[in-house]
Each structure stands twice: as C-alpha cells, then as structure tokens.
C-alpha cells in the first residue's frame, strides 16, 4: 500500500474518505450526505462506515465517512486504527484503486493520523502469492492512499509507523507461507533479503556449528527432517557503543507434525505457523531497523522442522542441552521448549543481555486458557512483565500474566535425567514455562510469552483479515520505544 501526502484533493479523485468522531460529521460534508448518514443510522462508532455519492463540479464523487468513536475514549488509538482498517476492508476489492483521505478539520494530530493510516495499511495486507484463479470482485484493487489536510509532523510520524507496518507484514508473510516454501534455510534467506541495507548484522549457524556448541536439545528436534536446522541471530546496534543489548528469542518450528508423537491429521495443516514466535522476533527486528531504533537489540530464532522418520528422536530418549542439563523427551510434540532452551542458553552466553524475552506458540493449553484474545506471559521480574504488558495494552497485542512457582517444578522432575519435557495433564502452559526457567541465568530478567492462540486467526480482526496476524511485533516495537527509549 503506497501512502503519500498532498496539499489539496486531486482533481481526478474518485473516492474521498473522511474520519468522523462519534456524534459529529466533518463540516465539509454536503447536506445530502449528512442527511443520508443520519437516515442510515451512522453514529461514528469505531469502524462504522457510511458511503454516498455527490456531484462535485462536473464529476460524481464517491464519499466515505469512517467512524473513530468517542474523541476522548480510553481506546482512542485502537478506534482510530479501526477507522482506517474499515476503509481498507470496504474498498480493498471494490474496483477503486485509490482512496483520497481528506482529514481537513478532523482534529487529528500527527500521531492520530498515523494510527488511522496504520490500520488502513495493515488491513489491506493479503497473501495472494499462490492464487491464480480469482473472480474480478475477489481481486485486490486498492493500491494507494493520498492524504490531504494533514497536520504538521504527520509525514514524520507516519514514517515511524510505516516501519512498524513493514515488520508486521514481514511476520505475516513468514507465517502465511506453506512449509514446502518456508523452512529453516529459506527463513534465514528471507530475513537476509528483508534486512538488506538496514545495518543489521546477521549470523546464521548451521548444524555443525550448533553441534560444536552442544545444542543437543534443539538439534534433536530436527533429526527426523531432511531440512537442516538453523540458529539465526539478528543484531541491531542502534544504541550506545558497548551497551548490553536487549534480547528477544523466538521459537521457529517451520512445520510441526509432532514427530513420533504425531498429531492427529485434521488441523495439522495449521502447524505451518508454529514458527510464529520466530516470525514475531524477525518482524520486530525489521521494524526496529527500518525506523532506526536507538537501542541495542538482538533477535534470535531457533529454526527447525519436526518430522517423523527413521532418524527422528523417540519418546523416552535423553538429550543433553547446551547448558549441560539433560532432558528426558517423553513427548516429541513438546518440542518448542527443546528448541528454545538451547537458543536461550546461547543468547545469554553470547550477549549477556540486560533482559531476555522469548515468544513462542508453545502450548495448546494456552489456547484453552485464553482463547484468541490474549497471549500469556510468565516472568521472573515484575518490572519486565509490567513493561511488556503495558506495551501489549497500548499496541493492541494484549498479554495476560500467569504464575511461576517452585510448586510446579516437581511436575517436570525426571527419575533418570535432570528433567522431562512434559508435566502432567494440568497446568500445561505453566510447566512449559517452568521448564524454560531452568535455562535462565540467576538474576537474569526473563519473560516467556506463549502466543499460541494469537498468531493466526480464523476470522478477520480489526487490523487483519483471516489468517496471519503478525502478533508480537508490536509488543517488541512498543517495549523498545517506551522502556528502552529507542
């Protein structure tokens, strides 16, 4: 979606859109449109759209009014995004190629307008790469937005938000791709392409290098696949030289059959998005680099494919992690924690980060607990947890905190190894977090975000269509802005 700014409504404008708060209409709206809106019960609620046609000069112009809700609502930013997203949803396949967004007199400051544009652009994203037969009314036609009447600073504010959009769109692209196209090696190459010229340093470890580091837990997951595993590191030095970085770590299982503990067939196709945590981290790093964040940040992605074949690890096998701790693998479908534990150990040893946050589509139990409304967060540090939850609340990628407690440790103790990779039937998300905590250095602030229910949606949301959401990118970006002041 191309977004540009202009001083006046172009003479050839065929579709002109306005933003209206609840209970009011722009002064420039013709009487016939105002009467039509009233008759149609348009109230300016967030995401509500009214459309009409009027004669302007010798042309008939299509006019849309999108509601942004109450001007002083607590959810103002979200409502503005909904207004922009509603315009995208309505006109994406309408035959219109351009929206002229006239915000003259709308009272939108630079940040408010940027929120409208962010919603509009994000909602216009689709993954049509493999669709070769579509009816005309299914094809995406809307390609650009021209903004008129913007306040001072609007273009600069949009430049920052457009970088965030690029990060979210990249994460969505990775999640949407099928596993025959996206696997550990191609994930790395897509990141190289997306980050070319940004100044990010890219390190990609192959299996031989990981073996030298003793990453037996991560490597064990990929034994049954013909696709080689990778550990990807994206290093951004935008802060003070020598300052310890913030670290974000993502689970990147590019396809998860469950391994020998194979999943049921129905719904297994969804497991192409089991790399949603790694996608969030990669997308977050794109956003930070594209906007030139003034902070030192590293993003690490453990990339594997979990397949069953004659070489695959078996239930009951014992693996040795990079930390030296041994793990009894009772269920090969509890593989994400095996990937993360080695990625977390390497991250801490390599970078000594000020804090570590991991993102993972880790447990089905999290979906049972929270559905598709919140991601779960576990943390050993209250300040870190509070910062992440505030970032989630303000960005719309919401998090809900769960407990960590030594009382749960006994559930993952093993009689023949240091631990087992599953607990009992209860507290499945908590025991997974307890497992990961065993690989965190003493006094290291750490948080685990279980986002299993959030990276893919079977129904459209307010800034996405059905499919990949890009969840997590906004948490990373907002946390760096607000807490790291980057």
| Interacting residues of 247 by C-beta distance below 8 A, sequence separation 6+ | 297, 298, 299, 300, 347, 348, 351, 353, 355, 356, 357
pLDDT of residue 28: 85
pLDDT of residue 137: 87
Give per-residue pLDDT as tens, 289-322: 999 999 999 999 999 999 999 999 999 999 999 9
Domains of the chain: 2-134+143-148 (3.40.220.10), 162-482 (3.40.630.10)
Q: Are 481 and 295 in contact (CB under 8 A)?
A: no
CB count, 10 Å around CB of 14? 15
Tokens of 299: 């993003």
Burial class (CB in 10 A: 0-12, 13-18, 19+), 236: buried
Catalytic residue among 62, 76, 192, 263: 263
Give per-residue pLDDT as tens, 206-256: 999 999 999 999 999 999 999 999 999 999 999 999 999 999 999 999 999
pLDDT mean values, one per 10 residues, the chain (486 residues):
94 94 89 93 95 90 95 88 97 96 93 97 95 91 96 96 98 98 98 97 98 98 98 98 97 98 96 98 98 98 98 98 98 98 98 98 97 97 98 96 96 98 95 98 98 95 94 98 96
Burial class (CB in 10 A: 0-12, 13-18, 19+), 309: exposed
Catalytic residue among 90, 227, 337, 481: 337
Q: Are 153 and 141 in contact (CB under 8 A)?
A: no
Establish whether 337 is a catalytic residue.
yes
């Amino acid at each position: 979606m191309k977004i540009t700014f202009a001083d006046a409504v172009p003479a050839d404008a065929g579709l002109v859109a306005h933003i209206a708060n609840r209970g009011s209409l722009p002064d420039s709206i013709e009487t016939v449109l105002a009467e039509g809106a009233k008759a149609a019960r348009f109230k300016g609620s967030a995401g509500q759209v009214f459309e009409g046609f009027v004669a302007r000069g010798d042309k008939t112009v299509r006019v849309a009014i999108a509601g942004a809700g109450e001007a002083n609502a607590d959810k103002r930013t979200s409502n503005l995004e909904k207004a922009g997203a509603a315009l995208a949803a309505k006109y994406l396949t309408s035959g219109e190629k351009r929206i002229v967004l006239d915000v003259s007199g709308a009272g939108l400051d630079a940040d408010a307008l940027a929120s409208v544009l962010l919603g509009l652009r994000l909602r216009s994203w689709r993954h049509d790469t493999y669709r070769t037969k579509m009816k005309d009314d299914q094809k995406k036609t809307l390609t650009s937005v021209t903004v008129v009447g913007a306040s001072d600073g609007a273009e600069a504010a949009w430049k920052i938000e457009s970088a965030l959009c690029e990060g979210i769109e990249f994460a969505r692209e990775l999640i949407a791709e099928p596993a025959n196209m996206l696997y550990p090696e191609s994930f790395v190459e897509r990141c190289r392409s997306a980050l070319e010229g940004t100044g990010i340093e890219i390190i990609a470890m192959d299996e031989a290098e990981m073996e030298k580091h003793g990453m037996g837990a991560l490597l064990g997951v990929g034994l049954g696949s013909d696709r080689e595993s990778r550990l990807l590191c994206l290093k951004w030095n935008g802060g003070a030289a020598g300052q310890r970085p913030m670290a974000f770590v993502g689970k990147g299982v590019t396809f998860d059959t469950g391994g020998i503990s194979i999943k049921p067939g129905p719904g297994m196709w969804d497991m192409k998005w089991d790399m949603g945590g790694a996608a969030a981290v990669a997308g977050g790093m794109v956003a930070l680099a594209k906007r030139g964040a003034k902070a030192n940040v590293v993003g690490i992605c453990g990339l594997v494919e979990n397949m069953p074949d004659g070489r695959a690890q078996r239930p009951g096998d014992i693996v040795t992690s990079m930390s030296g701790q041994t793990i009894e693998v009772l269920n090969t479908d509890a593989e994400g924690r095996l990937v993360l534990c080695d990625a977390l150990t390497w991250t801490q040893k390599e970078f000594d980060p000020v804090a570590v946050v991991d993102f993972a589509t880790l447990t089905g139990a999290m979906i049972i607990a929270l559905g598709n409304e919140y991601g779960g967060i576990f943390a050993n540090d209250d300040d870190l947890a509070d910062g992440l939850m505030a970032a989630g609340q303000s960005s719309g990628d919401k998090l809900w905190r769960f407990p960590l407690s030594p009382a749960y440790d006994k559930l993952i103790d093993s009689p023949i190894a240091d631990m087992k990779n599953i607990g009992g039937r209860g507290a499945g998300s908590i025991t997974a977090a307890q497992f990961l905590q065993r690989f965190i250095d003493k006094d290291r602030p750490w948080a685990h975000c279980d986002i299993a229910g959030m990276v893919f949606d079977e129904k459209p949301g307010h800034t996405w269509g059905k499919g990949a959401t890009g969840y997590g990118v906004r948490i990373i970006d907002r946390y760096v802005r607000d807490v790291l002041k980057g």
